[in-house]
Chain A
Amino acid sequence: MTGLPEGCDLFTPGHRACGGCGPALAARLLLKATGENVIVVNSTGCMEVFSTPYPETTWGVPWIHSLFENAAAVASGIEASLKKQGRSEKVVCICGDGATFDIGMLCISGAFERGHDITYVCYDNEAYMNTGIQRSGATPYAASTTTSPAGAFSPGNVRPKKDMPAILAAHGAPYVATASIAYPADFEKKVRRAINTPGPCYVQVHTPCCTGWGFESGETINMAKLAIETGLWVNYEMVNGVVEKAKKVKRKPVEEYLSRQKRFQHLFKPSHRDDLIAEIQKIADANAERFGTDIKPKEPIE
């Protein structure tokens, strides 16, 4: 019994996330999956900021925030300490894409190379949202952000999304998975598998951001679903570096996803940018090819 005040969930209401926040949902689902026997390391970012303005904390589990880039290193130290003390709490990092793909690369690479028994969950809203929507290594091609804005001579972000799962699988991570808040039970299952797999495991969960991507707050789950249905996000699992399972979809054209977000509106106005949309379609096609996610039409019986 943890002695939490009555009516206190492990992640309570009263936090200051935007209405419709994807990461807030991810945090709730994460703690549903881990239960209370967990120590959470949270990097600086939206989640840390909306959940812990002193003295109001949303967290009903032991939680620590140190800096922007060092969650994986802090988690390494916690894991070592718990090992020496013979304690059973799971160590889980929950960090945004900026903290993970960019500024945190040093620490996450070191932690994974050393093989600590930790689980690192990256909530991916595809930009530095807390500081006002700037481009990160996770920002997809042609998305407009404040530091990669669409302009007269720019299509927005010109680089593809960094393949973080592959990088961590290459470190020897025994279990790496991608997930989405569109499929909460699947995300919870993957978290549970990660925390129960010895060694460093990684789960990257897609968490659309209504404020940063530019859509109505009620559409968050629809956006997450569309990302998967268009092939721009693939839900898959890698065990010891090999893709074992990927969610199959009857693919929709990428326009159905892009046309509903302000961060891609420059692809449609003032002119319909067939060239850029075709480039994005190629990315979706390549994903489908790589992970085998297209539902094949039934073969006619001979």
Chain B
Amino acid sequence: MLEIMEGSHAVAEIVKRCRPQVIAAYPITPQTHIVEALAQMVADCELDADYITVESEFSALSACLGASAAGSRVYSATTSQGLALMFEVCFNVAGLRQPIVMTIANRSLGAPLSIWNDQQDSISLRDSGWLQVYAEDNQEAVDLHMIAYRVCEDHDVLLPAFVCFDGYVLTHTYEPVSIPTQEEVDAYLPAFNPYQRLDASNPLSFGMYATPDYYMEFRYEIDQAQHRAKEVFAKAGREFAEQFERDYSAPVEGYRLEDADTAILAMGSICGTVKDAIDEMRDAGKKVGLLKIRMFRPFPADEIADALKGVSTVAVLDRNISLGSGGAVGTEVKAALSGSGTAVYDYIVALGGRDIRKKDIAEIVDLAEEGRGDMFYGLRTEVL
């Protein structure tokens, strides 16, 4: 049944149904509506969880780590500066293989301070070992949370995940969504069954230190778990599709890509705008398509190379910039397509909430086809 609700509330509703036992979260724009909604659910006994009003994001993720290690399913949400503050803990959580699911309400990083949307925050943690998925709309945001818990808690994975959706653009936007019922969620997502936990009846020491004789092998095993996650996600996505008739099993998804000469690659809510732009360009006779990236970690290099086989020009839209280098997605796509003969151009777009419209997408396609790329697109040259 479709209801119209704000993205943040939709996420809170699905998180409630995933039954986290402990929530530790710190408020930060534009995630606040999620954590406020959850607090109200706990206060009204709609959600049987312990809600810790921590004193910083650093403590939020640390508390989640403790609760997860003790055997509870947990939840947190953050963005931007808050995620940056959690940097150290993120690496720690992945190394300790705790299946924490955290919503990232994507927002730009300061300085300069900006509360508006881009994807710099989660992308900047791409080395951390966290799985990363990006939602195009609020329905996908809702559904990806359920799948994320399933995948993370799988004993073949045991990794944490960022479920990313764009701040304000999705978090504060009202869209029709279908929230699965509690029974449906319980059928899809079983109770948390930790691989191991802190337990006096079976004592273990967690988080020992590793000398050079062991460290590399621990890191290798996390990397292996990342790669296994792709298959586990695909299977979980197929089972989700059977139950709910929405299919997220593929790490990338083509839109009108089959006979495209030029492909646009994008991640997140911008894909909606891109699809509309493609429809207009197609109507005008241009053979252009979209390859939407849903899963950024693990990076689906093979799937991207495969999907773009027949394409001669690729325009990557990066809502982030690895300063001094290029867009993170573009850099990795270029590596995936290296040797293929496909021309790949990277466009840094829509940082810090700068709007991007269908005509911008069309202009970018033109630039790519002219062989002009690897640039910031849409700079206000008058203020430079």
Binding site for B on A (CB under 8 A): 2-4, 36-39, 41, 48-49, 52-55, 57, 59-67, 69-70, 73-85, 89, 106-107, 109-110, 113-114
Contacts and interface: CB of A to CB of B under 8 A. Distances in A.
Interface in B134-152: none
Contacts of B52: 76-77, 80, 114
B63 A76 contact: yes
Interface in B15-36: 21-22, 24
A59 B66 contact: no
Given A73-B66, A77-B63, A107-B59, A53 B202 contact: no
Given A39-B200, A84-B72, A64 B206 contact: yes
20 contacts: A2-B203, A53-B208, A54-B211, A62-B198, A62-B203, A65-B207, A70-B58, A73-B59, A74-B63, A76-B52, A76-B54, A76-B63, A76-B66, A77-B64, A77-B70, A78-B70, A84-B22, A85-B70, A106-B59, A109-B55
Nearest to A44: B209
A60 B200 CA distance: 9
A60 B204 CA distance: 8
Interface string B188-218: 0000000000111111111111110010000
B53 A83 contact: no
Nearest to B199: A62
Contacts of B210: 54
B200 A89 contact: yes
Contact of B200 (A37, A81, A107, A113): A37
Contacts of B56: 106, 110
Nearest to B70: A81
Interface stretch (B88-96, B176-184, B314-322, B373-381): B88-96
B101 interface: no
Interface residues of B, number: 44
A73 B93 CA distance: 14
Contacts of B59: 70, 73, 76, 106-107, 110
B54 A63 contact: no
Interface of B: 21-22, 24, 48-50, 52-56, 58-59, 62-72, 74, 88-89, 92, 96, 198-211, 214
B198 A64 contact: yes
Query: Which one of B53, B56, B62, B201 has the greatest number of beta carbons of chain A within 10 Å?
Result: B62
B208 A52 contact: yes
Contacts of A79: 66
A161 B203 CA distance: 37
Contacts of B62: 66-67, 70, 73-74, 76-77, 107
Interface of A is mostly: mixed
Contacts of A66: 62, 65-66, 89, 92, 96, 207
Nearest to B207: A65
A2 B199 CA distance: 10
A67 B64 CA distance: 14
Contact of A52 (B48, B49, B58, B209): B209
Given A41-B66, A67-B62, A73-B66, 17 more contacts: A4-B203, A63-B203, A63-B205, A65-B205, A65-B208, A73-B58, A78-B69, A80-B22, A80-B50, A81-B68, A81-B72, A81-B74, A83-B50, A106-B55, A110-B55, A110-B59, A114-B53
A81 B22 contact: yes
